[in-house]
Amino acid sequence: MQCKKVYYNKYKNLNNKEEAFIYAKKLFDEDNTYENYKNARNLLNNVAEIKDFKAETINKLKKKDSYISMEILSYEGDVGELFNIVSNYKIDEGYYEFKYLVKSLIYRCFYESKITGNNICELLEVIEKENDNGIIDMIPLLMDKENKEVYLVKVIEILRKMVEFHFQVGTRSSYAKGAYYCSVAKDIYEFLNRKAEFESYYRNIMLQNKRRPALRDEMERRMNN
């Protein structure tokens, strides 16, 4: 592997992209890391080559490492495939995949927007601090209003699953996490002008959890934040 790195750096420094790509791809084939993928991908010159390399990569990783696949798809802006990966999991099996998808889509939808929701702004700050692969460095894509709304509705669905997951754990700290993700959903509902839907959702949570004062306290505290 070390020899391949030497040749990759040599040809890259000589601006010989074709030879550099050969060694970059070999490095990625031996060590499937996000960094190695980007090194190879960014040496390609046209859309068709990039598309083929991405498809080949995702196909290889499909049964091997879903998380790296998600990082690559997030970077490339392939939102549909991101949802396909997550759809294979139940929340308790793929919690971190669900969480990654939420962060990726919220960042893609809002990082250039003037959003007033305090909870989304807080999450965006967390995302930038954590600097996950495939999110902060994602390729900017044009997104029309309709697509954005479709994605955000799906994000709400995932957030609601995450809220329920944390509430079922039954500890004070898990109630706080559930309430936090509920507050992010609240901001998205309001952004989509669907405040009444959130209020109905919130009321149902509070009614269903009359005998969980700690949960209700965390929800009230977070909603009044």
**How many domains does the structure of the chain reveal?**
2
The verdict on 29 and 120 lying in the same domain is: no
Q: What is the dihedral of CA 29, 32, 38, 39, to 10 degrees?
A: -50
**Looking at 31, 47, 64, which one is the last position of a domain?**
64
102 and 174 in a single domain? The answer is: yes
What residue numbers bound the domain in which 204 lies?
65-223
Do both 12 and 76 map to the same domain?
no
Please name the residue that has the structure tokens 């209003």: 145
The tokens describing 196, both together, are 């009444």
First to last CA, the chain: 52
pLDDT of 184-198, one tens digit each? 999 999 999 999 999
Whole-number Å distance between alpha carbons of 196 and 117: 16
Place of tokens 């960042």: 107
Same domain membership, residue 117 and residue 164: yes
Rounded mean pLDDT of the chain?
A: 89
Looking at the structure, do residues 113 and 27 belong to the same domain, yes or no? no
Angle among Cα 101, 84, 79 to the nearest 5 degrees reads 55
Q: Are residues 53 and 71 in the same domain?
A: no
Check whether residue 81 and residue 52 sit in a common domain.
Answer: no
Q: What are the CA-CA distances from residue 28 to residues 4, 68, 170, 206 (Å)?
A: 10, 12, 42, 50
Distance CA 194, CA 188 (A): 8
Query: Among the three residues 16, 42, 64, which one is the final residue of a domain in this structure?
Result: 64
Q: What is the mean pLDDT of residues 130-139?
A: 95
Residues 14 and 121 in one domain: no
- My answer on whether 185 and 199 are in the same domain is yes
Contact 96, 35 (CB under 8 A): no
Q: Looking at residue 34, what is its pLDDT? A: 94
76-101 confidence digits (pLDDT tens):
999 999 999 898 899 999 999 999 99
Helices (H), the chain: 2-13, 17-30, 34-41, 47-61, 66-76, 79-86, 95-110, 118-130, 145-169, 172-191, 195-208, 213-223
Rounded CA gap, 73 and 144, in Å?
19
pTM higher than the cut 0.75: yes
> Same domain, yes or no, for 72 and 107?
yes
Residue pair 219/182 in contact by the 8 Å Cβ criterion: yes
CA 191/CA 200 separation, integer angstroms = 16
